[in-house]
Structure 1
Amino acid sequence: MSKGLTLTIIFQANSLNYGEGMGNVSELKKLSRSNGHTYTFASRQCLRYDIVRLGNELFNWNLQTVVKNNKTIQFRPDASIRESEEMDLFGYMKTVKTVGSITREAVARLTHAISLEPYRSDMDFLNNMGLARRIDEDNNLANIEQHFSFYTYTVTIDLDRIGEDKEISLSSQEKAQRVTQLLTILNLLNRNIRGRQENLSPLFLIGGMYDIANPFFYGRVKLDSKNGGFALSPSLLHSALEKKYGAFTVMDQTHMGLTKEVFDNEEELTHLLPEGQVHTVQGMFDFLIDEVNRYFVVNE
């Protein structure tokens, strides 16, 4: 039986991804909606970069897989998923002489991390007075957009395609290790940007292992910031939980991880699922790692 793992995650952070900017203004990457609100986002490429960075720092993932070929930077023609966790999880495109382009779709798919709170044009004024005064020169001035918000993104993993690529088939132990390492990284995720290290580890997550690889909770997270606090919409989450596939509803295989004292309707959220399917954030990751190891051992 095939298996997919999906998680929709909420974290809180400040100003995660900048674009080109104009003049001396650094602009955040943003999306606009027809209701007039603007939301900032960290791109999926940005998330992938930090996942791979931490994979190398924590688990010694092999990053020596890149070459410049006719002015194009790409994965080495001789590199494969056997020695590259990154190529296995996130796919690749490379050009091989006499063969042409060889591609593999991502096994672990990421969405953008989109803010749950609208951007209100907050700015920060910067200068380099400390350096300028040392040599009795005028300051250089800059303006930088700022946005502190909750963000949400979704990761979906097709477990049956992990460690499988044409003639290559990795051992069940290696497959399980790669997925559990990815889960550990998501639990500890951070981003280094402009002298800051932002904590992207989850405050809330919902999902689990299902008989299909589908992002059930993508687009089902809405933040209500009325009355000076923050609450998540339970009706949107419930609309995903009641979906059916085969003999199951999504609720049957869904689990939730929750950090206490973050959302005002914490108790209401915990009642969306049976007691045994609600965990702390760390408890949720522990559960998923156990499930992943059990799945690959059973299917060895």
Structure 2
Amino acid sequence: MKGLNVVWLSETDLTNLNAGEGESNYIDVKKYKKDCIEYPYVSGQAMRFYLKEAMRRGLEDTEYMCIPNDKGETCGDIKKCIMCDLFGFMTTIKGKGAVTRVSPVKVSPAIGLLPFDDNANIDFLTRRHRVSEGAKMEGDIVNVEIGTNIYKGGVSIDMVRVSSDEKIDEEKRAISIETVVDIPEKKNRVKKTLEALRYLTDYSKQARLLTDFSPDIIAISLQNKYSHRLQKLLALRYFVWVTQYPHYPLEQIT
């Protein structure tokens, strides 16, 4: 097996999973535009973070995932560290200089499939400031975009490069793949990646906008050739009404 692909749909409650740039008192939702209509999305960087944190929560006592230093560099030890093995790194290793590992686990942005304006609202919050005793309590009004939606997400795993390292033969001008851990441990790391999808929890704004972002419908493929083909499997059909979008025909859209 050379590739493992996962694609899923997840329906969320009213929330803001990944804020955009916004302003000091306006917290928006990241959006993309298709056919002049805006849809929400969760960035690939955020999805990677959510997946890594879900894996970290499920670590056994004997398993290890490093924490990046103040420069954002990780340990780079793919034999010991599950995170560096599966998610790659750019770091400096003593005696080797700058080292880069391409992530065997690829993660797509989670894209909303329902128009944002039809499924969103603006929540008004107040940021309270701590004040000394006897002083007047003050606060800033904050506007937060929130919405419900159905998101499509995906993960692709390059099975050949999980727990393996590239070795360059300068004389033959060739690259070979060398496994650095035993096969049972390699399988365990892939299993932990899949299990983590069931327990995605560390997305933003959950203190006051709690929701479940774990997959509701999921498909997995095991492939003897590595590709991302499965990522096009799922689509959502919905109606765009003439009264709401008069420049669109009343028909079913994929």
CA shift, 1:131, in A, is: 7.9
What does residue 74 of structure 1 align with? 73
What does residue 198 of structure 1 align with? 211
Q: Relative to 1, partners in 2 of residues 1:67 and 1:193: Cα closer, same or farther, differing over 3 Å?
A: closer
Q: Relative to 1, partners in 2 of residues 1:98 and 1:129: Cα closer, same or farther, differing over 3 Å?
A: closer
Pairing 1:85-104 to 2, within 5 Å after superposition: 85-96=82-93, 99-104=96-101
Distance in 2 between residues matched to 1:73 and 1:172, nearest whole Å: 30
Pairing 1:1-300 to 2, within 5 Å after superposition: 2-13=1-12, 14-33=15-34, 35-60=35-60, 62-68=64-70, 72-76=71-75, 79-96=76-93, 99-120=96-117, 122-128=121-127, 136-166=136-166, 169-194=180-205, 195=207, 196-226=209-239
Distance in 2 between residues matched to 1:203 and 1:10, nearest whole Å: 6
CA shift, 1:16, in A, is: 0.7
- Counterpart of 2:154, as a letter, is T
Contact 1:192 1:198 in 2 (8 A): no
Contact 1:154 1:215 in 2 (8 A): no
Distance in 2 between residues matched to 1:83 and 1:117, nearest whole Å: 42
Runs of 4+ off more than 4 Å: 128-132
Distance in 2 between residues matched to 1:192 and 1:45, nearest whole Å: 11
Contact 1:190 1:197 in 2 (8 A): no
Q: Which runs of 5+ in 1 are unaligned?
A: 229-234, 237-300
Q: Which has the higher contact order (CA 8 A, sep 6+)?
A: 2
The total of aligned residue pairs comes to 222
Structure (1/2) with the larger helix percentage = 1
Distance in 2 between residues matched to 1:32 and 1:135, nearest whole Å: 47
CA shift, 1:65, in A, is: 4.6
CA shift, 1:75, in A, is: 1.6
TM-score (normalised: structure 2): 0.77
CA shift, 1:222, in A, is: 2.5
Distance in 2 between residues matched to 1:214 and 1:117, nearest whole Å: 27
Which has the higher mean CA deviation after the structures are superposed, 121-130 or 147-156?
121-130
